[in-house]
């Protein structure tokens, strides 16, 4: 009784291991946000006219929302007002333009990624994983570019894509998440500085995992990256995203946008291991992670699958969704969200069924420990033309201790009577009897909780590429350490 | 030196005293059976020995292998060689049975300074023990106890015991819920484990288990005290006469406490 509750309390008290700061000279734009900021960012990136116009349109829309105080307030998260004029919107490490090879990259940056376990240098590259490294506002390195290029696969920073593939960018940018989608999407469209771009041509199966590793380093800056992935007809790609940030007392804003487009018979698998700095044990500092991610199954038989493991950030606000437009297209969402200490997460998905016989699967696992608040918010919409659509939703919550909370808000809208919907939900507490059982077999209380949590998340972990599943398990263990003693 | 020495053990839970002065000595190589009416404290004793923290020890001492068992956490007791087959085994969804036992075995091996076993070393052993207990291999990858029938859970406990090779095995009503064939198989699994280095405490209500696992000693626990100890014949006598006569006799000898 007493001591087991203590046990549970302690497992959540572990330090964030990625909280160091890299000392590096950076180039920033002045604090604040006006049209001039947008022009300056665009100029720094030598963008073509169409990009600047696009940004300015987004900015004007955002400014009108800001004026109308239309920042979204419906999420089940609480934070003080954000002063958008007190943020630095662009920060880039000073380096030579147009690096020819990684050898020219600032060794401090290379070392930073090595410390994070993401080697970029030629000789130590992760086999089978191509990495795009985004440091503050810009992409600093992309590995395996040439090898992928041989197959016609484009994997580069967004800036490079704007420069080299403007037609593709023009054709697809903003088609899944228009700047009018929401407040943060508008902000992102106005100020986004970099991100990853992927194009997999017709019939090509991308032979390795593509991944982007986001790192916020500079203080008082926001990170606004934008990722655009296009899988042409019959193409396949698996993409991973990881992120960390230094420990700082003030909150930092991260407002990203991800757009995925799958054409006929194409498949995109998008996995995230989100580990932004969550704030300290009293809830000071941490990243505000306000992200819009959406995929469009534009073609027939296409498939988009989101897998996310969310352990970081002070506040997470994110609903990776799928627009199932093509007949027989499939959308999937597998999520583990963990909130510990004073973290808050409001996350879930949106599945919009437009095409015939479209199917979606939602598996959400929420874990709350400490004073963490975890909300699942899901929307399944079956529109009139979506004859034969099906959805399966499973929503499980696990509570560790008795000061945390779990909430579920599943919204369902069905406009076609042939739809078949299934919904399952459960809430459980890690039982002391479970912990004791594992301890009786020789495991420490922490290991016991970690094992129980991993078992709880198994349905999601098995969707992750192998080595990342292992990493996710470890991360979960670390994020929970201290919640049992 | 005795493997286990319990002296004047008192324990309570939620403010209720359950164990009211237990004395018990168990030597390596011996099998002791503990019998007694429902609610008399048998499982409580087993849990105190496994160091369940919900049971507060208010008096007495326990030496295990010469060490102070009461100072140990549950996992330390386990790593020192105390194993309890649970009366109600717990389900761990999403964790494979074999993976679980290997993790447990490696935790214990690590504690003892031994190398960890990888899957290649582990699986042949595990398979062998499964065969001994007549368990289908499909149980290997099923989640720990999830959806297992009552009897399957009990068998799984004995499988874990066989893998972990404890010095002291406490079987809490492992026979309940077993069908006739399973009872024989489980008993056989237990008997294989009998050895001069190992001791067992078998908690049961029924003589039928003791037909297979012949105990060296039988103790009768009533209302938190061992009121009578004897040889295997005591179990037969209980089967015949129930517990009433022991309580009456004890009442005549010792002053009844409220
Ligand atoms: N957590 C608890 N809180 C309150 N009382 C408890 C708790 N655990 C056990 N008890 C009480 O302690 C007493 C002894 O229980 P215990 O489980 O040890 O009995 P037992 O001899 O194993 O019985 P059975 O033969 O039915 O298994 C019972 O009266 C039980 O209700
Ligand atoms: Mg009992």
The whole-number average pLDDT for the span A457-474 is: 79
pLDDT tens readout for residues A100-120: 566 666 677 667 767 666 666
The whole-number average pLDDT for the span A409-431 is: 91
What is the Å distance from ligand 1's center to B209 Cα?
22
pLDDT tens readout for residues A262-312: 999 999 999 988 777 777 777 777 778 889 999 999 999 999 999 998 888
A-chain residues within 8 Å CB-CB of B92?
A: 434, 437-438, 451-452, 455
State the pLDDT confidence band at B252, using cuts at 50, 70 and 90.
low
Query: Are the C-beta atoms of residues B75 and B106 closer than 8 Å to each other?
Result: no
Whether the model clears a pTM of 0.80, i.e. scores above it, the answer is yes
Q: Give residue ranges of A with CB < 8 Å to any B CB.
A: 1-4, 431-434, 436-445, 447, 451-452, 454-459
Ligand 1 near B13 CB (within 6 A): yes
Ligand 1 near B38 CB (within 6 A): yes
At B256 the pLDDT is: 44
d(CA B176, CA B42): 14
Size of interface A-B (CB pairs under 8 A): 82
Closest-CA residue of B relative to A445 is B75
Percentage of residues of chain A with pLDDT beyond 90: 41
Handedness of CA B38, B40, B43, B44 (dihedral sign): positive
Pocket probe for ligand 1: among B15, B39, B175, the residue whose CB has the most ligand atoms within 8 Å is B39
d(CA A349, CA B229): 64
Residue that wins the pLDDT comparison between B240 and A60: A60
The whole-number average pLDDT for the span A202-212 is: 89
Average pLDDT, chain A: 83
Shortest distance between the Cα of B70 and any Cα of chain A, in A, equals 14
Ligand 1 near B97 CB (within 6 A): no
pLDDT tens readout for residues B42-58: 999 999 999 999 999 99
Partner residue facing A434 (CB), from B53, B79, B90: B90
pLDDT tens readout for residues A129-162: 667 776 665 666 666 777 888 999 999 888 889 9
d(CA A467, CA A82): 37
């Amino acid at each position: 009784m007493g001591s087991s509750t203590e046990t549970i309390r302690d497992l959540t008290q572990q330090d964030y291991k990625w909280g160091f700061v890299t000392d590096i000279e950076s180039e920033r734009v002045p604090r604040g946000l006006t049209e001039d900021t947008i022009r300056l960012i665009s100029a720094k990136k030598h963008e073509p006219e169409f990009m600047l116009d696009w940004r300015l349109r987004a900015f004007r829309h955002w400014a009108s929302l800001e004026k109308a105080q239309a920042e979204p307030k419906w999420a089940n998260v609480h934070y003080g007002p954000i002063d958008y004029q007190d943020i630095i919107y662009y920060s880039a490490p000073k380096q030579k333009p147009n690096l020819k090879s990684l050898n020219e990259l600032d060794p401090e940056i290379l070392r930073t990624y090595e410390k994070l376990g993401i080697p970029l240098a030629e000789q130590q590259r992760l086999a089978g994983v191509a990495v795009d490294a985004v440091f503050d506002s810009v992409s600093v390195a992309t590995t395996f570019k040439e090898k992928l290029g041989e197959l016609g696969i484009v994997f580069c920073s967004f800036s490079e894509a704007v420069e080299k593939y403007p037609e593709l960018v023009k054709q697809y940018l903003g088609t899944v998440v228009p700047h009018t989608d929401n407040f943060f999407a508008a902000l992102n469209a106005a100020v986004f500085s970099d991100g990853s771009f992927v194009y997999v041509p017709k019939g090509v199966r991308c032979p390795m995992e593509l991944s982007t590793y986001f790192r916020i380093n500079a203080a008082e800056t926001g990170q606004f990256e934008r990722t655009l992935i296009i899988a042409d007809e019959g193409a396949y790609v698996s993409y991973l995203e990881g992120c960390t940030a230094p420990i700082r007392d003030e909150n930092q804003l991260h407002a990203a946008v991800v757009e995925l487009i799958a054409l006929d018979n194409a498949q995109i698998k998008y996995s995230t291991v989100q580990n932004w700095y969550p704030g300290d044990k009293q809830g000071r500092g941490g990243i505000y992670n306000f992200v819009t991610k959406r995929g469009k199954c534009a073609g027939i038989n296409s498939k988009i699958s989101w897998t996310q493991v969310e352990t970081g950030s002070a506040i997470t606000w994110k609903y990776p969704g799928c627009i199932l437009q093509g007949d027989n297209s499939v959308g999937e969402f597998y999520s583990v969200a963990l909130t510990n200490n004073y973290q808050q997460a409001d996350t879930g998905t949106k599945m919009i069924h437009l095409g015939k016989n479209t199917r979606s699967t939602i598996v959400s696992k929420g874990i709350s420990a400490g004073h963490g608040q975890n909300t699942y918010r899901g929307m399944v919409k079956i529109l009139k033309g979506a004859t034969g659509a099906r959805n399966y939703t499973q929503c499980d919550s696990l509570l560790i201790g008795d000061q945390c909370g779990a909430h579920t808000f599943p919204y369902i809208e069905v406009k076609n009577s042939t739809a078949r919907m299934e919904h399952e939900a459960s809430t459980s507490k890690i039982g002391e009897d479970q912990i004791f059982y594992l301890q009786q077999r020789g495991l420490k209380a922490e290991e016991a909780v970690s094992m129980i949590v991993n078992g709880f998340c198994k349905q999601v972990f098995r969707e992750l590429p192998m080595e990342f599943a292992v990493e996710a398990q470890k991360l979960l263990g670390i994020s929970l350490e201290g919640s049992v003693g | 030196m005795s493997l286990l020495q319990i002296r004047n053990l008192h324990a309570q839970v939620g403010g209720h005293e359950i164990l009211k002065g237990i004395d018990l000595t168990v030597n390596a190589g011996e099998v002791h059976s503990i019998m007694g009416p429902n609610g008399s404290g048998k499982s409580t004793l087993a849990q105190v020995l496994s160091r369940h923290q919900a049971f507060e020890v208010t008096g007495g001492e326990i030496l295990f292998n010469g060490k102070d068992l009461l100072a140990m956490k549950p996992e330390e007791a386990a790593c020192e060689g105390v194993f309890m087959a649970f009366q109600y085994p717990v389900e761990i969804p999403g964790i494979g049975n074999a993976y679980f036992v290997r993790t447990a075995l490696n935790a214990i091996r690590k504690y003892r300074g031994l190398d960890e076993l990888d899957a290649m070393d582990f699986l042949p052993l595990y398979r062998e023990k499964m065969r001994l207990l007549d368990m289908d291999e499909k149980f290997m990858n099923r989640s720990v106890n999830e959806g297992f029938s009552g009897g399957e859970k009990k068998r799984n406990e004995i499988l874990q015991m066989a893998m972990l090779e404890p010095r002291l095995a406490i079987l809490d009503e492992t026979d309940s819920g077993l069908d006739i064939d399973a009872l024989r198989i489980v008993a056989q699994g237990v008997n294989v484990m009998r050895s001069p280095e190992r001791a067992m405490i078998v908690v049961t209500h029924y003589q039928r288990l003791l037909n297979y696992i012949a105990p060296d000693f039988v103790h009768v626990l009533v209302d938190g005290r061992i009121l009578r100890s004897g040889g295997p014949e005591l179990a037969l006598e209980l089967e015949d006469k129930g517990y009433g006569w022991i309580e009456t006799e004890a009442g005549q000898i010792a002053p009844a406490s409220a």
